[in-house]
Amino acid sequence: MKRSTESGPARGAGVACVAALAAVSLAACGGGGTAGASGADDGSPTEIEVWTWAQGYDEAAEAFNAAHDDVQVKHTEIEPGSKGGYDKIRNAIKAGDAPCLAQVGYETMPSFVSEGNLLEVTDVAAPDADAYTPAGWSGVTVGDRVYGAPQDQGPMVLFYNKDVFEQHGIEVPTTWAEYREAGERLKQAGVALTGTYEDFDYTGFAWQAGAPWYSVDGGQWSITNDSPENQEVADYWQGLTDDGLIGAGIWSDAWASGLSDGSIATIVGAAWFKGILKDSAAAASGSWAVAPLPTWEEGESTTGNVGGSATAVLAGCADPEAAWQVAHFLSTDTDAVDAVIEAAGTLPASVDGLGSELLTQGDEYFGGQVVDEVFVDAAGNVADGWQWGPGVSTLMSTFAADTKKAYAQQGDATIADALANAKAATIDGLSKQGITVGE
């Protein structure tokens, strides 16, 4: 799912885990407790409570309950993480009355670990690792410890206005060089190549390029978003900006209008952008299509990923084995997965989920194209090597603020400077939490 960022430091149990996160050895974080699961010695079912914001989880929970007698699920819908959900989870853990399971975005998992908010379930989960895509499994793994079941993912693709491309005789670009060439031709016709990419929407470019923003070496985190590889990605997008090929700011009214009237020709985005496009540009139904993401070298198929979330096991859960049983079912059972696909439009992170019949149907908005086939193919081509780390909220908020200035060409602001500023701000914030960041 989209734009689920962390929101502020937790206290209490999290303090004890800060050093563990820095050292990556996280087995002690979020140890067992008594909250989140209930059952009786009289043989009544164990109850596992789960909090989520994605639509369809309620029906997925019903599917679990229909298939099990010894464990039953109680589902509660909460606000998305960045809109209050994460604060609700943190507060419940602190009060000792949290559920066993909750939806947590992949990018927020390391911060939740550092705060002591998650319970490690590596041993019980490891046998099911092959049931998930590599990108999904890496999303629930911090260091070498597993903290939940992958639910969905966001492989990157190219959404393009096929009417605009056909009108101007432009082939669908397969490389970033061709994408730039398309932009130069579109500019001559008064059409913007695309809009801006300011926070998580930008990270997929770095992911595809093998330019991670975090690394771990010798048990210590480093922030690497200003690496030479990242500089190359920044220079590419800075070049498009300097040459006037970038249009309105993403998520703005002008951006939505441009998608609707054909004055913005593409979105480079995750699979979940399908729903955003339909909502933002309903009037353009039939004009848009989906293609694989352009690559740096001709003939490649590597892509990046933006977004995705897990059903994470929370600290204090009294029955982590039952919690994993529920979380794994919600991500892999046909009925459960289909319920979330149908209601939320997400792309499953499980291998079986990607085989859902719901992902083989033509989409009227896209002129009947089976766009989910492109998404499924992309899910198998996500580059390895990306991992999230602590301090993501500071990293992304600083980067977003400064990239806005770069796209608006305010003074000497550049995307490369935005990367450096975000790194410095994050290192400063983490040091105040007692987390030392390597060079």
In this predicted model, what pLDDT tens digit does every residue of 310-321 receive, in sequence order? Answer: 999 999 999 999
- Please report the sign of the dihedral spanned by the C-alpha atoms of residue 382, residue 386, residue 387, residue 389: negative
pLDDT tens readout for residues 345-375: 999 999 999 999 999 999 999 999 999 999 9
What is the pLDDT confidence band of residue 2, given thresholds at 50, 70 and 90?
Answer: very low
pLDDT tens readout for residues 281-300: 999 999 999 999 999 999 99
pLDDT tens readout for residues 213-233: 999 887 789 999 999 999 999
Which residue carries 């079941």 as its tokens?
A: 149
Where is average pLDDT lowest: 26-35, 176-185, 204-213, 223-232? 26-35
CA dihedral 190, 193, 194, 196 (to 10 degrees): -90
Mean pLDDT of 52-58: 97
Residue closest to 155 by CA, chosen among 343, 418, 386, 391? 386
Does pLDDT of 170 surpass 80? yes
Mean pLDDT of 116-140: 97
**What are the structural domains of the chain?**
12-153+308-355 (3.40.190.10), 156-305+387-432 (3.40.190.10)
Q: Whole-prediction pTM value? A: 0.90
Token pair for 70: 């010894």
Where is average pLDDT lowest: 12-21, 111-120, 210-219? 12-21
- The whole-chain average pLDDT of the chain stands at 91
Does pLDDT of 10 surpass 70? no
Mean pLDDT of 407-434: 95
In a 3-state reduction of DSSP, which class is residue 218?
coil
The Cα 292–Cα 22 span in angstroms is 37
